[in-house]
């Protein structure tokens, strides 16, 4: 997780703690909305990913009211103080990281198999 959050913090210019929360929120979204086998392969390559996902769900009363989908993820990320531009930068860096870890083909399947995600690739 440190490798990924470090990359995100540098690329997007955000705090490491915010980067970790962001990763948890995005991976949770991918797990719920994307091709489960491919997403799980990605999660399995990121030490600490399961803990970040679990932490992203804490205090989830408000986030459950927002429903699911990409708009809810955007709302949760903006609540962390991220701008739309920062979210796009983070998503692109996360996808680069994923390509490094599981390969371009599998990462491409996650992106194409998750509703609304291709606009961030």
Extents of the domains making up the chain: 2-120
Average pLDDT along the chain = 89
Residue 84's φ and ψ, nearest 5 degrees, are -60, -40
**pLDDT tens track for 49-101:** 999 999 988 755 555 555 678 888 999 999 999 999 899 889 899 999 999 99
The pLDDT of residue 116 is 86
The pLDDT of residue 62 is 52
Assess contact for 26 and 12: CB atoms under 8 A. no
Q: Where does 2-120 sit in CATH, by number?
A: 1.10.490
């Amino acid at each position: 997780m440190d490798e990924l959050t470090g990359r995100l913090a540098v690329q997007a210019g955000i705090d490491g703690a915010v980067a970790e929360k962001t990763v948890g929120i995005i991976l949770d979204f991918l797990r719920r909305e994307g091709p489960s086998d491919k997403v799980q392969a990605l999660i399995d390559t990121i030490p600490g990913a399961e803990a970040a996902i679990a932490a992203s769900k804490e205090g989830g009363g408000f986030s459950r009211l927002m429903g699911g989908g990409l708009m809810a993820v955007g709302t949760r990320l903006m609540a962390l103080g991220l701008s739309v531009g920062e979210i796009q930068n983070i998503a692109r860096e996360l996808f680069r990281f994923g390509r490094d870890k599981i390969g371009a083909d599998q990462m491409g399947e996650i992106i194409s198999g998750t509703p609304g995600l291709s606009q961030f690739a």
